């Protein structure tokens, strides 16, 4: 608990400048990408005409994301962005979920240790000194000791840098879509609004149009809100789970709390982030 919120940084010297980075975020991001890539390669080799349960789940999920994308962006533009939108959803979902599994392992291990203590085993010593002061010592040789020693995994989306990078990627794609879809001039006219007509000699008044800075600020704020919404929910859920788990030593950790802030909230936040990405791209049509 005393180290809660601390971040380990390393300093890199790049082109004569010192840059501080969080190695945990990089490592966990590559782990998430490796899991997605590995699972995709394995699943791709076992595709069947009549899908099994796992293939059927992923096909339903893909069709669900595809339908939303096509309905929001149109069939022509939607088809182009379906792979990106689905990949974004899967990446955010796995990133949100990866930190839950160590807590599940510790919870199961603590329950086994509690039962082991109640039946009088010498492999574990359990002492109840209050709801928030549960102490037990497990022999490292018992078969379930590895569950209690499950290493903590940090969700990449718990880092605002990851969330900001994803939001910036969506921002760039959305604006490039607007430029190629409508042309540079029509794209720029969208920042001027209708207070001063954007035609003829009125174009000379574009720099003093009050809508121009307001629209630019609005575009920047959309990136900030897109990233901080995901960061705040994932980090907040992590804090609640960690504090409660540490206080009660993972034994009386409510399953509903873990399921909500870990699994359910992870799905909801991945879906919300993806829907906002589709909305931002659609606004540039």
> What is the pLDDT at residue 67?
93
First vs last C-alpha separation in the chain: 49
pLDDT by residue for the chain (285 residues), tens only, comes to 455 555 666 776 777 777 777 778 888 899 999 999 988 887 777 777 777 777 788 888 889 999 999 998 888 888 999 999 999 999 999 999 888 777 777 777 777 777 777 776 666 766 665 555 566 677 777 777 777 777 777 889 988 889 999 999 999 999 999 888 888 877 877 777 655 555 655 556 666 666 777 778 888 888 999 999 999 888 887 777 777 766 665 555 555 566 667 788 888 899 999 999 999 998 887
Could you tell me where the DSSP H helices lie in the chain?
Answer: 23-44, 53-73, 75-97, 100-118, 145-148, 160-182, 184-189, 211-247, 255-258, 265-283
Residue 49 included in any domain: yes
> What is the pLDDT at residue 7?
60
pTM of the model: 0.80
Range of the domain at 59: 10-99+152-283
> What is the pLDDT at residue 82?
93
> What is the pLDDT at residue 248?
62
Residue 175 included in any domain: yes
Residue 250 included in any domain: yes
Residue 114 included in any domain: no
Residue 171 included in any domain: yes
Q: Shortest CA distance to 92 belongs to which of 143, 33, 10?
A: 33
Count of domains observed in the chain = 1
Q: Radius of gyration (Cα) for the chain, nearest Å?
A: 25
Residue 118 included in any domain: no
């Amino acid at each position: 608990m005393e180290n809660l919120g601390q971040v380990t940084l390393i300093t890199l010297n790049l082109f004569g400048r010192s840059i501080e980075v969080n190695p945990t975020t990089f490592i966990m991001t590559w782990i998430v990408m490796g899991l997605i890539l590995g699972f995709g390669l394995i699943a791709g080799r076992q595709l069947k005409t009549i899908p099994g349960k796992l293939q059927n789940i992923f096909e339903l999920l893909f069709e669900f994301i595809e339908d939303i994308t096509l309905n929001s962006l149109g069939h022509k533009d939607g088809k182009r962005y379906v792979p990106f939108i689905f990949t974004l959803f899967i990446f955010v979902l796995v990133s949100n979920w990866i930190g839950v599994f160590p807590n599940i392992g510790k919870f199961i291990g603590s329950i086994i240790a509690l039962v082991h203590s109640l039946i009088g085993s010498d492999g574990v010593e359990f002492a109840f000194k209050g709801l928030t002061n549960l102490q037990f010592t497990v022999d490292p040789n018992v078969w379930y000791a590895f569950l209690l020693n499950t290493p903590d995994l940090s969700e990449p989306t718990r880092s605002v840098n990851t969330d900001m990078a994803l939001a910036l990627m969506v921002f760039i794609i959305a604006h490039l879509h607007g430029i190629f879809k409508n042309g540079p001039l029509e794209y720029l006219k969208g920042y001027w609004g209708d207070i001063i007509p954007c035609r003829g000699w009125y174009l000379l008044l574009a720099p003093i149009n009050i809508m121009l800075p307001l629209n630019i600020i609005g575009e920047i704020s959309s990136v900030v809100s897109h990233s901080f919404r995901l960061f705040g929910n994932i980090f907040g859920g992590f804090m609640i789970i960690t504090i409660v788990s540490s206080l009660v030593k993972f034994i009386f950790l409510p399953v509903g709390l873990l399921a909500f802030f870990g699994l359910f909230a992870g799905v909801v936040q991945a879906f919300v982030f993806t829907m906002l990405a589709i909305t931002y791209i659609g606004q540039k049509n």
